[in-house]
Structure 1
């Protein structure tokens, strides 16, 4: 399985091939979670996925992921979004809303800007435990929601939602989407205690959680928002490049303080840099030795 199964960080409902039931969705693509429709087999599938990933996360995920998972207390079955939202509101003012799957970019940005995180309401089938084309409730919830309990990361996500409107207006959505891809989905961090994963696509994937943090050959660069926006990514295999934060404050300030307009104008017509290549000005992550 590719880590998240997501072809784009934010993708529109573009056809009937998507699995979710879009017929009953509201104008903002929200639907009822219908928690009582989950079968015992679905809850068991969740428990097994949760147990497998938590065992790996204890060793390889960022402390913020682990504390978020503990606060959500969802190991025993598919979580109830109403209860999850109660916990989130008390901590950071966020809530989760159920959606059928991929939703249009402008709708996605609006949800984030208003501290609502869309979570797919269906769970993968038994034969999809290790490979999934579309993100399901396990990817969306286990991967994303724990980090929303961290105040700094929660503020970054709201700021990202606000930045989406400008990126669309400037025809630079692909550039902004790479920020999401290389942080929210596939981000790594070293706050001085070793390399850890916080991106949802990594945290929810057994294979990539180990690969991204332990493989000695993969390229890891220190976080640079402009370099990130210029870097292509893989959608059908593990990433060839990862960007490493030193703190979540660095991530938030990189979005809030940067003047995106001139960057968009300069680079939006330029093909992205291939993932995995090293270029002048890149700073490699080497643990405590960074160059």
Structure 2
């Protein structure tokens, strides 16, 4: 699943997961009434923790879908303790009213039997926090991401079809502030080093306005001078190849040294809300192109 803020390794026993499991922790702000959609993958005893700063009186709604019945979730209160909600990755909709301010933890994991066998599963997560009346709302997208001693702060209102991203980078040798015009809203952000040069790239996952929710990626690369430079956009999908059956609803994530892009496939008779053609996964590598770098399509499955 998607990694959006501070990455840490946590060893412990919470929510019934084995003590030698590795936890990937992501902090998310959920602005009032905005739906957040994420995706990820689990292997064996791995678990994903989503730290959710919430306010008293908010109503948290969540839905977890997975390709394996062994996928589970637990919602833990600030400081740990008894789970407020527990469920499986069956796409059911759950909700709970938050009775205190604090950082809640949503933990995604596999059952002990599946983890012991080393099974893997994919999951998709939908989260929405309905704000209490009278409270000021946060920007629709707000993230902090860290790469070693470099920190990125991102903020975008993202409530219209055309938006502006405020980006601040704080490093030991350089500080920068940028404003970037966006065609669409931001659905996620990750840091990675896909060209293995020891410096991070910032990947912003964009979603167009409207029911199609067509996806794109804005990539910012930190060069040897510690300057951020914007890379070319993803090449368009060809109608007779990787893009056949494509009608939007993209999901993006970094896996190893590749950018993965998944989307449902539509047959000619399908409506926009009911794809029946399965899913396609595209893999992109960050390759040298002229004097710079560019994401290039490497493979398509199926």
Q: TM-score range by the shorter chain?
A: under 0.3
TM-score relative to the length of structure 1 = 0.27
TM-score (norm 2): 0.27
Q: Which entry has the higher C-alpha Rg, 1 or 2? A: 2
Answer 1 or 2: which has greater helix percent: 1
Q: Higher relative contact order by CA 8 Å / sep ≥ 6: 1 or 2?
A: 1
